Structure 1
Amino acid sequence: MPEGLLIEDLHLSVRAPASRPVLSGVGLSVAPGEFVALVGASGSGKTMTALAVLGLLPPQIQAGSGSISLGGTDLLRASGAELNRLRGGRIGMLYQQPKRMFNPRMTIGSHLAEPLKLHRGLRGRQAREQALGLLADAGFDDPARIARAYPHQLSGGMAQRAMLAVAMAGQPELLLADEPTSALDKVLERQILELIDNQRRRHGLGVLYITHDLATVSAFADRVVVMDAGCVQEEGPARTVLGAPRTACARELLEACALTRRRIAAAGEPGPSRDILALHGVTKRFAKGRGARPALDNVSLSLREGEILGVLGQSGSGKSTLARLLVDVEAPDRGSIARTLSRADGRNDDGGAGSGVPGTEVQLVFQEPHDAFDPRMKLFASLEAPLRRQRACTADERRDRIHQAVRDVELEPGMLDRYPSQCSGGQLQRLTIARALLLDPAVLICDEATSALDAVTQRKVLDLLLRLHRDRRLSLIMISHDMNVIRYMSHRVAVLYQGALVELAGTADFFANPQHRHSKELVAAARAHPTACAAPVACSDLAACAHRGSGRLGTTRLLELVTSPDS
């Protein structure tokens, strides 16, 4: 029987001259068939732990003392050739930003063919059949079409599912999953997690699952490991750690989850106001040919001045296409977009689709922060670029504005001397918000702006956006698959399904009584989980609720407890 993954007393640090610890004495294990959740705030060291297991540490990071072994194989001392055989073979990998891991010149089918050939010796027809089967298992209705597609032709959620298929191609004994469902809606998240769990049970697959989603942890994890500041702060069975956390960082994650859910529709309904953005019968197609579905199909929708509009939908429903149209990155094939925008300096700008007017008045916070920064430029230069183009302030004024914007998103200006690769995903996500605010826009479009953040950081960013909305009279479009984010922020909710607008309602009305079939599915998926405990639990203690006799907690019971007045 293989020993599984064992990490003992692992120390990592930044190389001299700026030597500082990254991980300090980290120890954890994943037995065959065990699901271990590694949780913690952004920058706590979760991803660095996974990269150390894979032998993919950045060049500026060096390993000190400690050991990492898989089934008796010493991973820290393995040669490059040995690690290449392990990666994609005995170790499968799921990344937080899947599109960054794909070669943009290769089809998804070609990506699948490589591990099938290298690790299982399959070629030709056998490899093609296995590739289609893996894509079908990952939730694709048309595996043949996806196999022919290139990464840029997939939405964020579709790319994540394709990466899962690639990770499972080598029939691994250990799966490292770094926030694999952060870009997925709740329906797809459930499908992916069920697939991972089925593989775990069927093949004895060990899973190290990095996440900040406590509901996910409760439903699937056997054990939970909590990290903070590069150290393991707490570990144990899921019901113990989540039911009676001993450390402040674990309690903070639970409390942040509870506060986000409590503030339902706290923004309230805005008063009557004019429309500042309006789509009239907008259609946008990317795929051509018979049977090709448009990305957006005859969508009519408006944003009111001072409003926060939530846009919900599954992966591939057209949410990001809507954002790209509103910032003039794409132009509609049919229909029109009318804009009547008020700038922070009091000037009004009117324009139609394709006019180029909203280049500064409408700003977009990107879904994938790593793709929003030039990896060759330091962060200060990336933030300074839009101010340089405006030529409206001196170098000192630009520096002051950038430093203030960075402080507004709970970061220190000192980090602006880094490159993007030296930052966590959560830090980069906050920096995209800071850059978007530098030009004082009238409208901020947040495309999954908090999907990569832990619960604590997410709450801080959402509260920051609410403060900016109030203080700057900023109008917001919150594009998300996270029902809690939409409920927390929005005045109205628009639901997209297969490119069509299927429902538009006030937030309270929508969550109380969704009308469209797809809306009902989304609300139901957020309320419950198929693996949640079915038995009623009278006790007010999280630890009293066990999932199928294991250390797991039912999602429904967890959410009831963290949203109760006494939690």
Structure 2
Amino acid sequence: MPELVIKDLTVRNTAAQREVLAGVSLSVQQGEFVALVGGSGSGKTMTAKSILRILPEQLQIASGSIRLGSVDVTSAPEAELNRIRGGRLGMLFQQPKRMFNPNRTIGKHLKEPLNLHGGLRGRAADAKVYELLADVGFEDPAWGARAYPHQLSGGMAQRAMTAMALAGQPEFLLADEPTSALDKVLEQQILELLDRQRIQRGLGILYITHNLASVAAFADRVLVMEAGVIVEAGTTEAVLGTPRTECTRRLLEASNLAPTRTTEAPTSERNVLTLTNVVKHFGSGKRWGRGSGNRPALDSISLAVKQGEILGVLGQSGSGKSTLARAIVGLEGISSGSIDRTLAAGATSPHTAVQLVFQEPHDSFDPRMTLRASLEAPLRARKGLSPADRSRRLNEAMLEVELDPDLLDRRPSQCSGGQLQRATIARALLMEPEVLICDEATSALDALTQRTVLDLLQRLHRERGMTLVVITHDMDVVRHMCQRVAVLFQGRLVELTDTPGFFADPQHQHSKDLVSAAIPCRGLHLKKMRALP
């Protein structure tokens, strides 16, 4: 059977004259589920890009070999690589919207590998597109096929990318953080889908992740990477059960947030946000209908958030969480209802008083501008601030989020995801907000960096008395941080209760699904027993 084998792979950054991968060796057999785990910047994604020969221009394979069966990938001509990519090797990346052409529908994206690698056209290709989209959890596959990438939520885009990766009937799948943007229910569905493909078709999977719970549930073997080197390897039970290296122990520790709340309930009775019967339509009809046609993205949402509260917002991808966040800060108009922001005495503007931290930090900055230019832009609109005042404020904001002010003169591409996410928080703090809305602010980060950002948010809440609305699909984050939980389902608020009550006795069926989907991820002894369904 074909095998994917990397032997002594070294990749150099020719511009910086340093190695980003050093002597990496690994193998994946067909039908095997192998996990590659490590912190941000450890070299996981560079390993996958090396296999596909899609490294950035400044990175070059200096030595070693990559073989796919009898094919030497490191020396294969471009024509051979084009047959391999999307065919024998499926590709599933972490940031799907960057991989889609914004001018093409999802259906057209899926038809390309179906035509190229499967010879499907016309109605046969249409039928397969709908089948693939249904398999990855699209409520309305016909709408999904007509949709453009910008119409999809982060989770829906990841589902579409999964469908495209499977469309070419690959022998091996390179899955780079494929579930980081998904809720727990959908995460489990996608991983079970990949596992079924592994069993039924002999699909070999190299699963790159920082989610050790999913590793424990699905992986046969685990490889731990740090600073471009594989520092530990073995069976899942051995590596996660009795880790030998400090790197593995840190990852395990960071992946297990305390299950008890560490924040006190708010003492103020003042509502800083009040939503009354908020409705948001994105339109209807063939192009703009979402899911069930005319169902609104937000459907009669009524909710009050108290000063100093940390409110967790849960729900499956596409449930309306991000639309709700954008509506609160004014980035989306609402179709009906009202959103009232009750400000403290002396507050400046209802718009600057509520700030939003986006899910993907790389998309929050202009890649052509330094961080200094991006962060300084809103301060320039304020009268009475001299250049020296602005510089001082920027330095203070960077230090508050535990970043070196020297990073201000870097461009986004020169920063890690964790550094950019903290810089995004710094930019929000410059506006001195009363309310900070965090839309999946840690989902794209590794476990160690996620812990750092969560600790930062809790410190800001504690020291500033700031109100936080934490939109997430990570149940441990909600359990760890939030006093109350709001659950959205198909655009509606279906449950609003205190955090202990939510986990002890969820009322709505979707809430029960979310809680039950998170339970198998707690503890290595609950490793999934996999068998052909």
The alignment's TM-score, normalised by the length of structure 2, stands at 0.94
Tell whether 2:158 aligns with 1:160: yes
Q: 1:309 aligns with which of 307, 311, 315?
A: 311
Counterpart-to-counterpart distance in 1, 2:18 and 2:396: 26
Return the match for 2:273 from 271, 277, 287.
Answer: 277
Matched letter for residue 398 of structure 1: R
Whichever residue aligns with residue 7 of structure 1, its letter is: I
* 1:14–1:20 contact (8 Å) kept in structure 2: yes
* TM alignment of 1:482-501, pairs within 5 A: 482-501=474-493
Matching residue of 1:261: 258
1:34 maps to 32
Alignment partners' CA distance in 2, 1:246 and 1:94: 30
Residue matched to 1:183 = 181
Q: Provide closer, same or farther for how the CA distance between residues 236 and 395 of structure 1 changes in structure 2, counting only shifts above 3 A.
A: farther
Question: Which of 61, 75, 84 does residue 77 from structure 1 map onto?
Answer: 75
Give distance in 1, aligned partners of 2:207 and 2:225: 13
Aligned to 1:387: 379
Matches within 5 A, 1:12-161: 12-16=11-15, 18-161=16-159
RMSD: 2.1
| Alpha carbons of structure 1 residues 28 and 122: separation in structure 2 relative to 1, 3 Å | same
CA shift, 1:232, in A, is 1.0
Is the alpha carbon distance of 1:411 and 1:62 closer, same or farther for their aligned partners in structure 2, counting shifts above 3 Å?
A: farther
The Cα shift of 1:320 comes to: 0.5
User: Can you list the C-alpha shifts for 1:102-147, whole angstroms capped at 9, x where unaligned?
Assistant: 1111001000111111112221122112111111211223211111
* Alignment-derived partner of residue 239 in structure 1: 237
Tell me which residue corresponds to 1:558: none
Preserved CA contact (<8 Å) 1:239 1:545? no
Q: Secondary structure at the match of 1:64?
A: strand
Q: Which moved more, 1:65-74 or 1:84-93?
A: 65-74
Match of 1:537 in 2: none
What displacement does 1:417 show? 4.0
Aligned to 2:353: 361
Q: Is the deviation greater in 284-293 or in 220-229?
A: 284-293
- Offset, 1:439: 2.2
CA distance in 2 between counterparts of 1:414 and 1:14 reads: 23
Q: Displacement, 1:467?
A: 0.4
- Cα distance, 1:425 vs. partner? 3.5
Task: Say whether 1:295 aligns with 2:286.
Answer: no
1:274 is displaced (CA, Å) by 0.1
- TM-fit CA distance, 1:415: 4.2
Q: 2:512 aligns with which of 515, 520, 541?
A: 520
Q: Of 453, 458, 463, which aligns to 2:450?
A: 458
Could you say which residue in structure 2 is the equivalent of 1:220? 218
Q: 1:41 to 1:525 in 2, by over 3 A?
A: same
Q: CA 1:256 to 1:546, structure 2 compared with 1: closer, same or farther past 3 Å?
A: closer
* 1: CA distance, partners of 2:86 / 2:420: 28
CA shift for structure 1 position 187: 0.4
- The aligned counterpart of 1:339 is 341
Q: CA 1:107–1:461 in structure 2 vs 1: closer, same or farther (change >3 Å)?
A: same
Amino acid at match of 1:328: G
Aligned to 1:434: 426
Shift of 1:378: 2.9
Q: Is the 8 A contact 1:42 1:427 kept in 2?
A: no
Match of 1:9 in 2: 8
Contact 1:287 1:293 in 2 (8 A): no
Q: 1:111 to 1:424 in 2, by over 3 A?
A: farther
- Alpha carbons 1:340, 1:348 under 8 Å: kept: no
**Closer/same/farther in 2, CA of residues 413 and 230 from structure 1, 3 Å limit:** farther
Picking from 327, 340, 344, the partner of 1:325 is 327
Does the 8 Å CA contact 1:213/1:455 hold for their aligned counterparts? yes
2:75 counterpart SS class: coil
- Determine the structure 1 residue equivalent to 2:288: none
% identical aligned pairs: 63
Distance 1:33 1:94 in 2: 17
CA 1:203–1:103: 2 relative to 1, 3 Å: same
Unpaired runs of at least 5, structure 2: 286-291
What residue number does 1:562 align with? none
Letter paired with 1:254: L
CA contact (8 A) 2:130 2:141 kept: yes
| Residues 533-552 of structure 1: pairs in structure 2 closer than 5 A | 548=529
Assess, with a 3 A threshold, how the Cα gap between structure 1 residues 313 and 235 changes in structure 2: closer, same or farther.
same
5+ residue gaps, structure 1: 350-356, 534-541, 551-567
Contact 1:43 1:426 survives alignment (8 Å) = no
User: Could you say what secondary structure the match of 2:63 adopts?
Assistant: coil
Q: 1 CA distance for matches of 2:197 and 2:183?
A: 21
Distance 1:437 1:9, change over 3 A: farther
SS for the counterpart of 2:239 is helix
Q: Does 1:502 align with 2:494?
A: yes
Q: TM-score, normalised by structure 1?
A: 0.88
